[in-house]
Structure formats: structure tokens, C-alpha cells
């Protein structure tokens, strides 16, 4: 497995468990900076490498009336402030080719959204930046089929790739986490991150933003993912999830993050037999 470096963070076999975390979408500069600071303090206390994540735009909302974010320009300005003020790498997702040059100026990791992972143009264009890519496995893909988008990134000479498992749809409105996907995707040759908060979502339209998820299972998925050999965790978190403007039903309450990570680190030490 290739060890992928994001600034001074090494991700892969034999490396510490990595955390990718932040609110689903940028709601305001104030909330974004608040969450970034709190997660950084937790990560430093627990000595877990941390990459901040938040989306400047959520283009796949189920309704045109739903909040999408501040947009490309303002969103990148806020992410740049997070990066500079707290000295942490930042990750966000891109949605079309025209965004990529601007995103690459700020982001340390460019994320390919699950719904877009098979879109050749967007994967290739993002890979051309030679930034680290986080390719999220589409919920419609078998884990072994992640080779297809990976091959597109490799075709332009970019092998700085992270792969993220985010659940698979079996039937209607039910997301399943097949634990076998971790070793299967690792066989492709790159580190595997598990997005435990999108896995607990229940796809499909709901009557309100705070419906449509089962966050009570986030900790269970965290422990299972680490025990199965995941190289990192992707956790969307918010001070008050029920009041969040996006994915309110699936984000982890920020107050619970430290305790879950403590247990994950202990599991990781046992599974990998290394001192962190």
C-alpha cells in the first residue's frame, strides 16, 4: 500500500490513524473556525493527525430550496483562513471542472464526491493538479470497482490517492456498510478512509432536515472500521447537529468526538501492534 502524504501527515500502513473531520457544509465563518479549533485541540491532545473538511457547496441536495453553502469564492476564503490560522490541511469537494483550478489554490486534498466518482473529466482534471485526491466510492459501486476511477487518476501521473468508503445502497433508502470493502479497496494499493457519518444516512426525501439518519450508530461504525484495518476516519461533526443546515440527521455532536476517538486509537494500536 502506498503511503500518502498530506503536508506533514503520512497516511497508510504503519502510520497513525488519521482523522478527516469538520461540519458537512460551511454555514458561516464563525461556526467553521469554532469547529476547526475544537477538533484541532482534541487531535493534539490525542496525538491523532487531523485534516479539516467542510464543503463550500453541496450541489447534490435533494431540493433546490435546501442550503448549499457560501459558494466557491467565499467558501475557499474561509477554508484558507482555517488553514492559515490553525496550521492544518484542508479538504473540500469539487463538483465540476471549472471549480478545480480555484480549489487547487487553497485545498491540500481535493475530494471527488461519491456521486461523481465515475465522471472521467472531473477525476482526470482534479488529478492533473497533482494534489492529493480523496476519491469517495459511489454508493452504487462494488468496492473492487474503485479501480476504475483510480485508473483515471493514474492515467495523468497522480498516485497521491486516498479512497473513502461511504456505504452501499442495497434496495431502497437503506445504506449498508460492508466491512469487507476495507481490505478489498486496500488491495487496489491506496489507504482507505471510512466515512462513518454518511453511512448512517437514510437516503431519500424526508419531511425535515433533522430526519433521515441514524447517528446513534456512528460510534459502532467507527470501532468496526478501525478494527477491520481502516487507515482513517471521516467524521462530519457539528456543535448542534439538529440545528445544522445540511446533514443534520447524520452528523456527530462535537461533544462526543473525543471519547469516540480515544477508543478508536486504542483499537488501532491493538490491530496494528504499533506504538502511537
Using CA atoms, how far apart are residues 110 and 102, in angstroms rounded to an integer?
Answer: 11
90 closest CA partner among 146, 35, 30, 12: 35
Using CA atoms, how far apart are residues 162 and 127, in angstroms rounded to an integer?
Answer: 12
Q: What is the CATH number of the domain that holds 233?
A: 3.20.20.70
Q: Is the pLDDT of residue 254 over 60?
A: yes
Q: Is the pLDDT of residue 2 over 90?
A: yes
Q: Is the pLDDT of residue 139 over 60?
A: yes
Q: Is the pLDDT of residue 190 over 80?
A: yes
Q: State residue 66's pLDDT score.
A: 79
pLDDT bin (cut points 50, 70, 90) of residue 51 is: very high
Number of domains forming the structure of the chain: 1
Residues 57-116: tens digit of each pLDDT: 987 776 777 778 899 999 999 999 999 999 999 999 999 999 999 999 999 999 999 999
Q: Is the pLDDT of residue 207 over 50?
A: no
Give 54-58's long-range contacts (Cβ < 8 A, gap of 24+).
Answer: 54/22, 54/23, 54/24, 54/25, 54/26, 54/79, 54/92, 55/24, 55/25, 55/26, 55/92, 55/93, 55/246, 56/25, 56/26, 56/92, 57/25, 57/95, 58/24, 58/25, 58/246
Q: What is the pTM of this model?
A: 0.94
Q: Is the pLDDT of residue 276 over 70?
A: no
Q: Is the pLDDT of residue 210 over 70?
A: no
Domain that holds residue 134: 4-272
Identify the weakest region by mean pLDDT among 127-131, 200-204, 221-225, 257-261.
Answer: 200-204
Q: State residue 46's pLDDT score.
A: 98
Residues 215-235: tens digit of each pLDDT: 999 999 999 999 999 999 999
Q: Is the pLDDT of residue 208 over 60?
A: no
Amino acid at each position: 500500500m502506498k503511503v500518502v502524504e498530506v503536508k506533514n501527515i503520512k497516511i497508510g500502513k504503519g502510520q497513525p490513524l488519521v482523522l478527516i473531520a469538520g461540519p458537512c457544509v460551511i454555514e458561516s465563518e464563525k461556526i467553521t473556525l469554532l469547529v476547526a479549533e475544537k477538533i484541532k485541540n482534541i487531535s493534539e491532545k490525542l496525538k491523532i493527525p487531523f485534516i479539516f473538511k467542510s464543503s463550500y457547496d453541496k450541489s447534490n441536495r435533494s431540493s433546490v430550496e435546501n442550503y448549499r453553502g457560501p459558494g466557491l469564492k467565499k467558501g475557499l476564503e474561509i477554508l484558507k483562513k482555517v488553514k492559515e490560522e490553525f496550521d492544518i490541511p484542508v479538504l473540500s469537494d469539487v463538483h465540476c471542472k471549472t471549480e478545480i483550478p480555484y480549489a487547487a489554490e487553497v485545498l491540500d486534498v481535493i475530494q471527488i464526491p461519491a456521486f461523481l466518482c465515475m465522471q472521467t473529466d472531473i477525476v482526470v482534471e482534479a488529478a492533473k493538479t497533482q494534489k492529493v485526491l480523496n476519491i469517495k466510492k459511489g454508493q452504487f459501486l462494488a468496492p473492487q470497482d474503485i479501480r476504475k476511477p483510480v485508473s483515471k487518476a493514474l492515467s495523468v501521473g497522480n498516485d497521491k490517492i486516498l479512497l473513502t468508503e461511504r456505504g452501499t445502497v442495497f434496495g431502497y433508502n437503506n445504506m449498508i456498510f460492508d466491512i469487507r470493502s476495507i481490505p478489498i479497496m486496500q488491495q487496489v494499493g491506496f489507504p482507505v478512509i471510512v466515512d462513518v457519518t454518511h453511512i448512517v444516512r437514510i437516503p431519500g426525501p424526508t419531511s425535515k432536515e433533522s430526519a433521515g439518519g441514524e447517528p446513534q450508530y456512528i460510534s459502532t461504525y467507527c470501532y468496526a472500521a478501525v478494527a477491520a484495518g481502516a487507515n482513517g476516519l471521516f467524521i462530519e461533526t457539528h456543535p448542534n447537529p439538529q440545528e445544522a443546515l445540511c446533514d443534520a440527521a447524520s452528523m456527530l455532536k462535537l461533544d462526543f468526538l473525543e471519547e469516540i476517538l480515544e477508543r478508536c486509537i486504542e483499537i488501532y494500536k491493538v490491530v496494528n501492534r504499533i506504538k502511537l
